[in-house]
Structure 1
Amino acid sequence: MKIHPDTEFDEGQKMQSTGTNTIDAGEIAKFEAMAAEWWDENGKFKPLHMLNPCRLDYITQQIAGEFGRDLTRDKPFEGLRILDIGCGGGLLCEPMARLGATVVGADAAERNIPVAQVHAEQSGLEIDYRHTTAEALVDDGEHFDVVLNMEVVEHVADPQGYTDACAALLKPGGLMVCSTINRNPKSYLMAIIGAEHVMRWLPKGTHEWQKFITPDELYGLIEKAGLRPVDRMGFVFNPITWSWSLSPRDLSVNYVTASVKPE
């Protein structure tokens, strides 16, 4: 199946929640226009494909540590229900499914869902993909052991409301892994000037610097949502080796956090 992206955003096509709606229509339109390229490693999502091994390393280590799972075993996440909110084309959903988890992939951009579904079918994976929002899932009474909230919070209209919804989706003792981009001169240079204008990894306007969130601000959102932050780490790009790595000290641009819901 070939998906033809369209830059038009049809508000009527989007789902409605009885709770607060944190969707930013302009942000959704950006990602709908790129939907067909999710699995093209040299396309518009090339930076995400490059970052993905580093993201997965952090995510799997945090889940294994929180739930006492042995990553050397076959299907170590069996029995865990994981939500990837803002799942895009399924770059995180598929590895989680291969590790044995029951996975729900949710995205507010409707055109992402058939792309993810077709790729999962081709990969022989059963993943529950849904065109929906965090708020709508809360309204439906859904609960998960793990919520993956990766590179989404900087794109929503109401970061606190969105974080509150993600927290409400966690079971007591559950884990949320959340990543975003810091807001400072370096992040403007690297994430916008470098990635969008110089390297042209992303279309111009993909990110808005004023929507970036500092680590302390994100911790504040997480704590106000009733979760307890337990870890944060930087994703650092090395232009010489052309690779990403984790850093406990350098959170200056991309970074990730882990937080738990008290039992």
Structure 2
Amino acid sequence: MLASKPMNQLRKLLLSSRRVSSSSIIPPSILLHQRLFSTSDTDASAASLPSSHQKIQTLEGKTSNKSRSTSSTTSLNEDELAKFSAIADTWWHSEGPFKPLHLLNPTRLAFIRSTLCRHFSKDPSSARPFEGLRFIDVGCGGGLLSEPLARMGATVTGVDAVDKNVKIARLHADMDPVTSTIEYQCTTAEKLVDEGRTFDAVLALEVIEHVANPAEFCKSLSALSIPNGATLVSTINRSMRAYASAIVAAEYILRWLPKGTHQWSSFLTPEEVSMILRRASVDVKEMAGFVFNPITGRWLLSDDISVNYIAYGTKTSDLGDI
């Protein structure tokens, strides 16, 4: 539970920050109304990794040259890669630096499940609604998203440019026969495009704000999608409210994240993400916000996209660079 003092400070910050109206950016017709989904079957495991350092050393010799290679064309930001490499051991520590993702995961998985079941005409009440579908989790980190997607039946490929992240993800996935089927690679989206890989759904959550060239990155995401495939991108809005909550509160007051994890200037507005995706031939169909309740400690899906938000779009063939 949060201490009362940080909670009060966070509430004051959120209340005092100017609320940014989502209706001036994205038409209301593609926003979700506020609602809470049931996510009991999609929560990611928060189990710790026993002797992870020792096991990573064992895996060093098993990483293929193919998985280490990267394309000559890349949107990688080396400084951002170094940040995440330094804390890679803590991906599955629910009270560690990735605590915000552990808290957010059930809510973003609820959106993914609902949206993709509708897109692919799947039964959302099924235990494994994504059976027969191929998903790629770009910037998979330690596998917090890849694992529940695999449990929902998808054939999952998880890629990350940080080799240590991929090793942690592989170790944790191998603890469960269901998730051990995940294909993890230390590579980039651009490299997979060069290899001609395509997927039914392409997901890049909390990644675009860390790349050097968001436009080129989204072109790669689009190229990885089959025609009419689904693309999901989530990030943080470049708003004063986001600065107050995602940086001041999360990094300096609550200390959920190491200081310097986020750069406000690297955040993208919903309008910018929509434009970048459209120019990459992905037509944004729906957006939703993630809103944190400091009283309950839970995230809700909302039509408020002024801080954290997710965009869902479909691959088209006739938009191009407009």
Alignment TM class, shorter chain as reference: over 0.9
The structure 1 residue matched to 2:243, chosen from 188, 200, 216, is 188
1:65 aligns with 2:118: yes
Q: 2:3 aligns to what?
A: none
Deviation at 1:123, TM superposition (A): 1.9
| One-letter identity of the residue aligned with 1:54 | T
CA contact (8 A) 1:86 1:105 kept: yes
The structure-2 alpha-carbon separation of the partners of 1:65 and 1:237, relative to structure 1 and needing over 3 Å to count, comes to same
Q: 1:2 aligns to what?
A: 52
**Matched positions, count:** 254
Deviations 1:230-262 (A, max 9, x none): 0000000011111100112x1111000000012
Task: Give the 5 Å matches for 1:94-113.
Answer: 94-113=147-166
Q: 1:219 aligns to what?
A: 274
Q: State the TM-score, normalizing by the size of structure 1.
A: 0.94
Task: Give the 5 Å matches for 1:1-263.
Answer: 1-3=51-53, 15-18=69-72, 20-124=73-177, 125=179, 126-248=181-303, 250-262=304-316
Q: State the TM-score, normalizing by the size of structure 2.
A: 0.77
Deviation at 1:73, TM superposition (A): 2.1
Higher mean C-alpha deviation, range 136-145 or range 69-78: 69-78
Q: C-alpha separation between the residues in 2 aligned to 1:80 and 1:176? A: 13
Once the two structures are aligned, what percentage of the paired residues are identical? 47
Q: 1:9 aligns to what?
A: none
Deviations 1:34-66 (A, max 9, x none): 111011101110010000000100011111000
- Unaligned segments of structure 2, at least 5 residues: 1-50, 57-66, 318-322
Q: C-alpha separation between the residues in 2 aligned to 1:259 and 1:136? A: 22
Match of 1:246, SS?
strand
CA contact (8 A) 1:192 1:207 kept: yes
Q: C-alpha separation between the residues in 1 aligned to 2:126 and 2:140? A: 26
The structure-2 alpha-carbon separation of the partners of 1:130 and 1:14, relative to structure 1 and needing over 3 Å to count, comes to closer
Deviation at 1:207, TM superposition (A): 0.4
Match of 1:3, SS?
helix
Deviations 1:177-230 (A, max 9, x none): 110000011111111110001100000000000000000000011100011110
Deviations 1:8-27 (A, max 9, x none): xxxxx963204x21000000
Q: C-alpha separation between the residues in 1 aligned to 2:53 and 2:113? A: 31
Q: C-alpha separation between the residues in 1 aligned to 2:298 and 2:127? A: 28
Deviation at 1:149, TM superposition (A): 0.8
| One-letter identity of the residue aligned with 2:310 | V
Q: C-alpha separation between the residues in 1 aligned to 2:172 and 2:124? A: 25
Greater radius of gyration (CA): 2
- Unaligned segments of structure 1, at least 5 residues: 6-12
Q: C-alpha separation between the residues in 1 aligned to 2:176 and 2:138? A: 21
Higher relative contact order (CA 8 A, sep 6+): 2
Q: C-alpha separation between the residues in 2 aligned to 1:73 and 1:255? A: 26
Which 4+ runs in 1 deviate beyond 3 A? none
Q: C-alpha separation between the residues in 1 aligned to 2:141 and 2:127? A: 26
Q: C-alpha separation between the residues in 1 aligned to 2:230 and 2:294? A: 32
